[in-house]
Amino acid sequence: MIANVIKKDDTQNTQNPKDKKLLAFLSKIENLPVLPPVAIKILDKTKDPEFSIDDLIDLIMMDQVLTAKMVRVVNSVYFGLGRRIESLREALVYLGSKEIKNVVLTTTLVNNFSNNQNSKLFKSFWEYSFATAVVSKLLAKSLKYKDHERAYLAGLLHDIGEVILIHNFPNEFLKVVKKVESTNMNFEEAENEILGISHTDFGPWLLEQWNYFGEIAHVVSRHHKPETSIYERHLVAIVHIAGLYCQNNNLGFGLNDDFKHELEMNFAWEILKNDISPNETFNISGHIAAIDDNLSGIKEIVNNIC
């Protein structure tokens, strides 16, 4: 789903993107992606701590694909329910308010940004983003990081800037993917080489336009360089590791065997060790094993939603 959010001349008036490069890039874009209306309605509704499940049911039932997917997701092995849920109401009650928001956001984003001429690229992109969200949450749990749902949200949206590229410059984006899959460059480096700018530059800007997720803009900006993060360093580190894990395991975008990341050696673990568990023995392989144990469940839920 895209809209004429910004016309070329409007970029002159935006206060946020001061950087000339960013302004020049934005001026080349005809259409920017918008949040799906059903997601906006549900995000608004769930802001009220007193919101009722019935209100949400009415909203979600207006979208049959969303309804079916939410029930399917809850029945995934990942949720480990042990029994079959048939109705949307049961699914929502089981999920609880924070999880409902995340599942609705995931399914509406996947649905709305998948049905166009670039659907193959979008499929890989959402598989990767969703898998990173799930892995971020698992890692957060394993690390005893305080807010699992926030880790999920940051994982889901960390690469959101790529949506702009896929919509507007699919051929260039394809070149970037090929470069990443065949060298040891990351997306940020490959984009900077091919386009002169990267998704970590314009992703935070897009989130601010969307008005709902400004609080994770810093994670979006620094997820390829956790050592440069200033705020929420642990969350940046979690998303960084989750993304590398997904690439190593061919979840969405995969890597050639010659270029797999040495996950255990990554600097981000140092941040986690110092910020989250300063006085505990820190077992990196144990945290990776906690994700490995769920790998088949992750693959199943990614297939169910994407």
Report d(CA 127, CA 242) in Å as an integer: 13
Nearer to Fe ion, 159 or 232 (CB): 159
| Stretch near Fe ion under the rule CB under 5 A, chosen from 88-96, 129-137, 152-160, 175-183 | 152-160
Write down the least CB distance from residue 84 to Fe ion, Å: 37
Judged by CB under 5 A, which of 63, 159, 201, 232 binds Fe ion? 159
| Stretch near Fe ion under the rule CB under 5 A, chosen from 2-10, 179-187, 227-235, 292-300 | 179-187
Q: Is 127 in the site for Fe ion (CB under 5 A)?
A: no
The encoded tokens of residue 273 equal 């060790």
Kindly determine how many residues on this chain lie close enough to bind Fe ion according to the rule CB under 5 A: 2
DSSP string across 69-106? HHHHHHTSGGG--SS---SHHHHHHHH-HHHHHHHHHH
Nearer to Fe ion, 25 or 187 (CB): 187
Write down the least CB distance from residue 224 to Fe ion, Å: 6
- The closest alpha carbon to 47, from 37, 34, 56, belongs to 56
Binding map of Fe ion across residues 182-211, x = CB under 5 A, - = no contact: -----x------------------------
The encoded tokens of residue 221 equal 């900006």
According to DSSP, residue 116 is labeled S
- The closest alpha carbon to 195, from 170, 177, 220, 172, belongs to 172
Report d(CA 130, CA 134) in Å as an integer: 6
Nearer to Fe ion, 223 or 299 (CB): 223
Binding site for Fe ion (CB under 5 A): 159, 187
